[in-house]
Chain A
């Protein structure tokens, strides 16, 4: 019954999208300046029905309706309720339904929140957005239908991957999807703007809130994904430059650039076509990312199951999007007389965009290069963290300086009366850096420069905060400040982390440098859906005289049969102590990986603060409209 309901709703929604497109065309032709009431009504109906459709799928997971193939493949009657629910979007088909929900709801909300903008522009946005919705619904119905049924009905499911049974991973997709699927709305709006010749200031105002929403959620989505990778993947890293991670970062770079160029478009009515390109680029990158992740083209820790047929559908969709964008860009492009004064805020916005494009190209190249090399020369190569780190990090140094100076510049013409202040802050940053070296230890030249430039940004932002008594620009100060903090804490964490990798037997004690490790005990615990070997490890630091006990686990799951390693992490504001234990085949020894990671929690807090700046900006934007 649930299967039939779901399928029925999918078909109705497909019909509704077509209806909206058709009605919008009719409305465009009419001389009336208002949008027909029925278009609003159909959009509302569309959003309501798509939500009901999604809840139908959730219901199927909750009651463990194994007549649905998706539920059978990804759930189990013994799964805890919370994970049964989050299992709805933790698989390919279900997550596509999540795509459609966001596409649909954003379509409706954009329609009703833009009442003071041109009718043609709004209708064209609606049409294009619904074409996107239609594309995805067709993909779902013909290839990846979460409601497709199986007969005879299996007694129980194949079980959700235990690694996916996690609170952080449960909210990670919804957050991220509001981010990069949400970018669809300004993709459609950009196309609409070109087609209906609705340019400049008003276009910028109409999409600003949406760019902010998608940027903020994308930032949060990436944060949650990193936190999950940190404690779940068990290696203490939070960013691996893995292709799937890169797929979420690429739209973020475009969004950040877009956020800044919108400022210029709104205030000075320049950089229109560049802004349009950024709008089109963001969602294009999102769909490209989805293609890479779901089609089985990449080798990654995070990949969904491989299925080339999905790849073909997404590739066709992507091609249509790209060629439609190029067509309109070429047709509508008019060389404009953009006046960019040197030494002004516009210049610094351009500089931001310049750096963002550099990061984007680097990460895009690194991610795609192995695919291209394999296709052309049949030779497989790997591109990993060493590449990205060595190319990007030096450039970040200059970027941080520009982030500090840029906001100080005024629109149109700027006078650098505060050169003295800048040098003072720089001096202060250098002093603090030397203090760190003096009291702790020294590090590489690049690290020195990173710390100095991030300190410079932090101190400039704080000074800015006290100078500007008005509440204007606070979100920007918070975001720039938190970015500086992020780089600072990453730099400190990287240089002061301690890692030890060794083997221990039960009852053995090992001394490595300042640390002494003892494997005191091993217990076997039985939980609801797994067995765990829990180790009791005592860690003594002879330098600080600190003693800790950590409890790493080796978990054995039944459904499906998997082995996972749960890290034991002790967090406080000074740092994390991180320990994993894994068994060695055909040996009584266990491999222990221990890490002390100073200031780890501040890295998360910085990104949280970064997105908070986005939220603040969003509220200000909503208040002003």
Chain B
């Protein structure tokens, strides 16, 4: 019972202290966009001309009121999916996002089965 109260208070407290994301953070967007003319850098890290231009475009899009996802869709339409560091969750990338968790669940099941098998023997 004490435990339940403890957790309720804990989660209520967390809610009051959560950082709300109302304003779009452009540095997060910059870190998610790949510099097309560099070797493995985001436009946040790159000094290339292309990176500078793209940062200006992102700034404009934010001012126009576009959401983060709309910005990503706009740019991936122009430059292909390669420009996004966060792979989209679509039929092609579905395995990428799902397999790790499948592995996690599978691992858990294996351990539980192993323990069950052992306890039967004892």
The answer to whether A342 touches B44, judged by C-beta atoms less than 8 angstroms apart, is no
Task: Give chain B nearest CB distance to A510 CB in angstroms.
Answer: 17
- Residues on A with C-beta less than 8 A from B27 are 499, 501
Measured in the bound complex, the distance between the Cα atoms of B37 and A299 in whole Å is 11
B17 to A437, Cβ gap below 8 A? yes
**Chain B residues within 8 Å of A387, by CB:** 85-87, 96
A341/B40 in contact, CB under 8 A? no
> B119 to A381, Cβ gap below 8 A?
no
Segment of A43-51, A52-60, A199-207, A351-359 engaged in the interface with chain B: A351-359
Whether the Cβ atoms of B104 and A382 lie closer than 8 Å is no
Q: Which of A326-348 contact B (CB under 8 A)?
A: 337-342, 347
User: What is the CB-to-nearest-CB distance from A531 to chain B, in angstroms, rounded to a whole number?
Assistant: 18
Give A237 to B92 CA distance when docked, in angstroms.
30
The answer to whether A366 and B84 touch across the interface, beta carbons within 8 angstroms, is no
A300 interface hit (Cβ, 8 Å): yes
B41 at interface (Cβ–Cβ under 8 A)? yes
In chain A, positions 377-412 with a C-beta closer than 8 Å to chain B are 377, 379-387, 390-391, 395
Q: Which residues of the other chain, A, contact B52 by a CB distance below 8 angstroms?
A: 584, 591
Q: Which parts of B17-73 form the interface with A (CB within 8 Å)?
A: 17-19, 27, 31-32, 34, 38-42, 44-45, 47, 49, 52
Given known A-B contacts A342-B119, A347-B111, A380 and B99 have beta carbons under 8 A apart:
no
A339 touches B19 (CB 8 A): no
**Minimum CB–CB distance for B90 against chain A, Å:** 10
How many angstroms from the CA of A337 to the CA of B122 in the assembled complex?
A: 12
A584 to chain B, nearest CB (A): 7
Assess the A381–B122 pair: CB atoms within 8 A: no
User: Is the beta-carbon distance between A379 and B92 smaller than 8 angstroms?
Assistant: yes
- A384 near B18 with CB under 8 A, answer no
Known contacts A383-B85, A386-B85; A340/B115 CB under 8 A: yes
- Interchain nearest-CB distance for B32 vs A (Å): 5
- Residues in A whose Cβ lies below 8 Å from that of B114: 338, 340, 350
As a 0/1 sequence over residues 1 to 26 of chain B, the CB contacts with chain A under 8 angstroms (1 = contact) are 00100100010011001110000000
How many angstroms from the CA of A441 to the CA of B10 in the assembled complex? Answer: 18
Nearest residue (CB) in B for A300 is B40
A442, B85: Cβ atoms closer than 8 Å: no
Query: What would 9 more interface pairs be, CB under 8 Å, given A240-B40, A379-B80, A391-B101?
Result: A242-B40, A340-B115, A347-B115, A351-B111, A361-B99, A379-B81, A382-B85, A384-B86, A499-B27
Cβ-closest chain B residue relative to A398 = B104
Q: Which residues of B contact A437 (CB under 8 A)?
A: 17
Q: Which of A369, A391, A434 contacts B17 (CB 8 A)?
A: A434
Q: Does A524 contact B (CB under 8 A)?
A: no
Knowing A361-B99, A443-B19, the reply to whether A382 touches B115 (Cβ < 8 A) is no
CB-based contact B107/A384 at 8 Å? no
Whether, in the assembled complex, A445 has its beta carbon less than 8 Å from a beta carbon of chain B, the answer is yes
Task: Take A361-B99, A379-B92, A443-B19 as given contacts and tell me if A565 and B47 are in contact as well, using a CB distance cutoff of 8 Å.
Answer: yes
> Nearest B residue to A389 by beta-carbon distance?
B86
Give the interface of A toward B (CB within 8 A): 233, 235, 237, 240, 242-243, 299-303, 337-342, 347, 350-351, 354, 357-358, 361-362, 365-366, 369, 373, 377, 379-387, 390-391, 395, 423, 427, 430, 434, 437, 441-445, 448, 499, 501, 565, 582, 584-585, 591
Q: B83 to nearest A CB, angstroms?
A: 7
Of chain B, the residue at the smallest CB distance from A270 is: B118
Q: List B contacts of A357 (CB < 8 A).
A: 103, 107
B85→A237 contact, CB < 8 A: no
A448 touches B17 (CB 8 A): yes
B interface, over-half SS: helix
Q: Which residues of B contact A347 (CB under 8 A)?
A: 111, 115
Contact A361 B103 (CB under 8 A): yes
Q: Which residues from chain B contact A350 at a C-beta distance below 8 Å?
A: 111, 114
A391 x B13 contact (CB < 8 A): no
Nearest-neighbour CB distance to chain A for B107, whole angstroms, equals 4
Query: Which A-B residue pairs are the 3 nearest by beta carbons?
Result: A384-B85, A386-B86, A235-B45
The 0/1 profile, CB within 8 Å of A marked 1, for residues 93-122 of chain B is 101110111011001100100110011011
Nearest CB of A to B84, in Å: 6
Q: State the CA gap A384–B13 with chains docked (Å).
A: 33
Q: Are B18 and A366 in contact (CB under 8 A)?
A: no
Chain A: minimal CB distance from B25 (Å):
10
CB atoms of A384 and B82 under 8 A apart: no
Contact B96 A383 (CB under 8 A): yes
Q: Are A384 and B32 in contact (CB under 8 A)?
A: yes
Chain A residue numbers with a CB within 8 Å of B39 are 299-301, 303
Shortest Cβ gap from A230 to chain B (Å): 12
Output the nearest chain B residue to A580 by Cβ-Cβ distance.
B47
A369: chain B residues within 8 A (beta carbon): 87, 93, 95-96
Q: Which residues of A contact B82 (CB under 8 A)?
A: 380-382
Q: When chains A and B are docked, how far (Å) is the Cα of A337 from the Cα of B114?
A: 10
Question: Can you pick out 27 interface pairs between chain A and chain B where the beta carbons lie within 8 Å of each other?
Answer: A235-B41, A235-B44, A240-B40, A243-B40, A301-B39, A302-B40, A339-B122, A350-B111, A354-B107, A361-B103, A362-B100, A365-B95, A369-B96, A373-B93, A377-B92, A381-B82, A382-B34, A382-B85, A383-B96, A384-B86, A387-B86, A387-B87, A391-B101, A423-B6, A434-B17, A445-B14, A591-B52
Please tell me if the beta carbons of A341 and B14 are within 8 angstroms of each other in the complex: no
